[in-house]
Structure 1
Amino acid sequence: MAARWYDGNEFVLLENGEEFFPRVFERIGAAREEVVIETFILFEDKVGLALHEVLVAAARRGVQVDLTIDGWGSPDLSEQFIAGLVGAGVRLHVFDPGPRPFGWRPNMLRRMHRKIVVVDGEVAFMGGINYSADHLADYGPEAKQDYAVEMRGPVVAEVHRFVHASLAAGTRHNPQARRWWRWRRKARHAPEQLPRVGSMRAMLVSRDNSRHTVDIERQYRIAIRAARERIVIANAYFFPGYRLIRDLRRAARRGVDVRLILQGTPDMAIVKVGASALYGFLAKAGVRIFEYCERPLHGKVALVDRDWSTVGSSNLDPLSLSLNLEANMIIRDRAFNAQLHAKLDALMRTSCKQVTFEAVSQAAGVLEVVRSFVAFHLVRLYPALVAWLPRHRPRLEAAMAHELAHATGKERP
């Protein structure tokens, strides 16, 4: 189904776990009929245990709870943790769990990287925040900087339809899971049945490995090509395709104020190596680059001009743009755009250092020139290279009590 715009929505921008987790847990605590969650990471720390508590309580009072975790991103949940969920009636699904020979997780490509919550088909959350304590400031210097949105209005029905379609697709080739599930549950509301609660226009865009392989990148490029005043992109893992980089350079050259907020204190060293290899190519065209140095940046947000914004799970790197399952919300609203801009502007003013073209040029030795040359051609060629990788049919495996060891990749003692 092609993405479409929905009018009459309301969005609340949430920054970091301090704002996100209380809102999500409160909504789950008030759920009457259904909770559906997709997350890449669920750790068994204080955040994961808090989510566990509210989901178990919801299931015990009769709410249908479906929780999907990624088999690579959430590999180490204990049998006790899973048994508590399943025993209460939570339907726990593991995306592509796969075998773990000798404790190694080889199947790291094409992951379920989305972060979505839908409660009673009436309120939803989407963004980049996982269920782990490293999204809270008290985690220390490695705490992540990130964003999400809470939404109400007709677009929630589209998100609800999307998560149920994903559940159905994941079990289509898994007879064991299909016997366990009571499928197929219809969406509680059509978009026209949900009342308009605001003035914001919104569109759900996703990326998969079948019909929507480039949808998120396409929406970025459409907005960038139409930009007339400003572009601000805050992205944790920045190594996009050649076409998107070309669009950014062209925007800067026609006078658009193009700013990138990237990781200056990366959670993985290779992240900065990849992004910085493009610095000279971008800065030469007038793109302004800011490295966020206060802590690791994990956000995936952007804004263009005065009314276009996006918040979601997709990075601008080969994994997100060509391999993973992702979802972003695009929002057309001046007030939301202004709020997001204020947040990002504060980061640039107080917590970033700007990387200038002069600084990049002075630091560019022979090895740097070679590295930039290789990086440039990688981003030009990687879409074609990725097409050669196998596109398996991802599946959801139900985590039943007698399958706990298999679902977590652990053997029983």
Structure 2
Amino acid sequence: MSRLQGEIVDRERAIELLPGNRVTLLQNGEAYFTALEAAIDRAVHEIYLETYIYKNDSTGLRIGAALQRAARRGVKAHLLLDGFGSQDLPRSVTDELLAAGVAVAWFRKKISPWTFKRKRLRRLHRKIAVVDRDIAFVGGINIADDMNTADPAPFRYDYTVAVAGPLVQVICLSARRLWSLVAWTTFRTGTVREGGLAAAPSAVGTMQAGFLVRDNFRHRRDIEDAYLRAIEQAKFEVIIANAYFLPGIQFRHALIDAVGRGVRVTLLVQGRVEYLLQHYATRALYGNLLDAGVEIQEYHESFMHAKVAVIDERWATVGSSNLDPFSLLLSREANVVVDNEEFAGTLKQSLQEEIEKGAQQISKENWHHQPAPLRLLNWLSYGFMRLLMGISGYADGYGPAGLRGRHRDRPDI
């Protein structure tokens, strides 16, 4: 057992880091879609693909065609879509997939926009693909063109990892369980027997890696707790790149405490305005972080969608989870954690290159001299975000005590 396998333990359970994996970093959609399509075309037995957004564009058509080819070869292909993120997908697209033999299911599709229920806020935000239990992909990239090409608009900056080795079976089991749950809830059928899983893949590499999920039952805090524990144990460096950064006070205090121990903490966050309210609410947090010595870089090269971190040049995570209320309190998320210097070094180098070419550092001096109207906009946005959380019934988990709320409602998809 490595040092990190023994030490990086969340507040309730150990992160199970399995040895013998090969984890490959894929930056941006072009790399991901090429690898995903090739894996689907090699499939022999089964495919599970989960995504928040699936667009009827060149990328959606490309991946959809690969799924259809696989289904016609006799491969059991499953596509799970979020009912909100993919709500604009024409029915003709899913009808074509179904006609080819692809099983398609929706996570929370039919909830009226005029009926306010807390459940409708709980979304499938994971981006996972598993093929034949031989390879799995986990990250933040949706099935959409804006993740794929720099023409006509700049590509989104994002990551996915390709995993081979024993961890693939863990990811496959998670995908199977969620598919079974959604299929049973929707059709009252379609469950998959876990006993059908083959033996775990043999070792193909030297990396230790683990798989973390966030759900609305037993794993509400697993991803956040993994971040917190790693930050609390950091010795010299924390680099976090997160597109939508609005964590609770406990997370912010962990970053500030790390700086107090002499750790260099760097945040790479969204610089372009994509979602107005969230953008300025995030900026309301800058002052205290800058005063504590946290380095803040805003990414302007393109829209940023990454959700990754590197700590002490060894612990690394890549996944779908932002550090905001949507990801930490509501959505189903999935991250891979890697304990390996080579992988962490590759991710760190990629982050540094993007910071150098596409980011602008926020200085403490300039920040505290920004115009009063901008400061007011930041705090009004933050206050409104808190109000929305209160209306939704989730503010109790996002208050001064940090993200510690544990809702006692029944298990839910």
Q: Which residue of 1 aligns with 2:20?
A: 8
Deviation at 1:77, TM superposition (A): 2.0
Deviations 1:135-189 (A, max 9, x none): 0233433531100000101011100111111122224444xx133x264353533
Q: Which residue of 2 aligns with 1:401?
A: none
Once residues 84 and 118 of structure 2 are traced to their aligned partners in structure 1, the CA distance between those partners, rounded to angstroms, is: 9
Q: Which residue of 1 aligns with 2:146?
A: 134
Aligned pair in 2 of structure 1 residues 249, 372: CA closer, same or farther (>3 Å)? farther
Q: Would the aligned equivalents of 1:266 and 1:297 in 2 still touch at CA under 8 Å?
A: no
Give the aligned residue type for 1:157: Q
**Secondary structure, counterpart of 1:55 in structure 2:** helix
Deviation at 1:324, TM superposition (A): 0.4
Aligned pair in 2 of structure 1 residues 104, 214: CA closer, same or farther (>3 Å)? closer
**Secondary structure, counterpart of 2:195 in structure 1:** coil
Q: Which residue of 1 aligns with 2:4?
A: none
The percent identity for this pair of structures is 35
Q: Which residue of 2 aligns with 1:119?
A: 131
Q: Would the aligned equivalents of 1:164 and 1:187 in 2 still touch at CA under 8 Å?
A: no
Q: Which residue of 1 aligns with 2:64?
A: 52
Q: Which residue of 2 aligns with 1:408?
A: none
Deviations 1:206-231 (A, max 9, x none): 11111111110000000000011111
Once residues 74 and 173 of structure 1 are traced to their aligned partners in structure 2, the CA distance between those partners, rounded to angstroms, is: 19
Alignment match of 2:81 (pick from 49, 69, 93) = 69
Once residues 312 and 187 of structure 1 are traced to their aligned partners in structure 2, the CA distance between those partners, rounded to angstroms, is: 27
Deviations 1:364-413 (A, max 9, x none): 63872795599499599651579698968656xxxxxxxxxxxxxxxxxx
Deviations 1:312-334 (A, max 9, x none): 00000000001000010000000
Deviations 1:78-100 (A, max 9, x none): 23211111011111010000244
> What TM-score, normalized to structure 1?
0.87
Once residues 343 and 169 of structure 1 are traced to their aligned partners in structure 2, the CA distance between those partners, rounded to angstroms, is: 37
Aligned pair in 2 of structure 1 residues 366, 182: CA closer, same or farther (>3 Å)? closer
Deviations 1:291-341 (A, max 9, x none): 000111000000100110000000000000010000100000001111000
Q: Which residue of 2 aligns with 1:406?
A: none
2:345 pairs with 1:338? yes
Once residues 228 and 94 of structure 2 are traced to their aligned partners in structure 1, the CA distance between those partners, rounded to angstroms, is: 41
Give the aligned residue type for 2:124: M
Q: Which ranges of structure 2 fall in alignment gaps of 5 or more residues?
A: 1-12
Q: Which residue of 1 aligns with 2:324?
A: 317
Give the aligned residue type for 1:202: A
Q: Which residue of 2 aligns with 1:148?
A: 160
Give the aligned residue type for 1:32: V
Q: Which residue of 1 aligns with 2:260?
A: 253
Deviations 1:231-276 (A, max 9, x none): 1101000000111100001111221110000011132122320111
Q: Which residue of 2 aligns with 1:231?
A: 238
Q: Would the aligned equivalents of 1:227 and 1:251 in 2 still touch at CA under 8 Å?
A: yes
| Residue correspondence of structure 1 range 197-276 to structure 2 within 5 A | 197-276=204-283
| Residue correspondence of structure 1 range 82-121 to structure 2 within 5 A | 82-100=94-112, 109-121=121-133
Q: Which ranges of structure 1 fall in alignment gaps of 5 or more residues?
A: 396-413
Q: Which residue of 2 aligns with 1:20?
A: 32
Aligned pair in 2 of structure 1 residues 187, 298: CA closer, same or farther (>3 Å)? farther
Q: Single out whichever of 266-275 and 345-354 deviates more from structure 2.
A: 266-275
Corresponding pairs, count: 390
Once residues 270 and 282 of structure 2 are traced to their aligned partners in structure 1, the CA distance between those partners, rounded to angstroms, is: 9
2:306 pairs with 1:299? yes
Q: Would the aligned equivalents of 1:238 and 1:262 in 2 still touch at CA under 8 Å?
A: yes
Once residues 162 and 183 of structure 1 are traced to their aligned partners in structure 2, the CA distance between those partners, rounded to angstroms, is: 12
Aligned pair in 2 of structure 1 residues 183, 157: CA closer, same or farther (>3 Å)? closer
Deviation at 1:3, TM superposition (A): 4.5
Q: Would the aligned equivalents of 1:11 and 1:152 in 2 still touch at CA under 8 Å?
A: yes
> What TM-score, normalized to structure 2?
0.87
Aligned pair in 2 of structure 1 residues 21, 299: CA closer, same or farther (>3 Å)? same
Q: Would the aligned equivalents of 2:319 and 2:334 in 1 still touch at CA under 8 Å?
A: yes
RMSD value over aligned CA atoms?
2.8
Q: Single out whichever of 154-163 and 265-274 deviates more from structure 2.
A: 265-274
Give the aligned residue type for 1:29: D
Of structures 1 and 2, the one with the larger relative CO (CA 8 A, separation 6+) is 1
Q: Would the aligned equivalents of 1:241 and 1:382 in 2 still touch at CA under 8 Å?
A: no
Q: Which residue of 2 aligns with 1:178?
A: 188
Q: Single out whichever of 70-79 and 113-122 deviates more from structure 2.
A: 70-79
Q: Single out whichever of 164-173 and 274-283 deviates more from structure 2.
A: 164-173
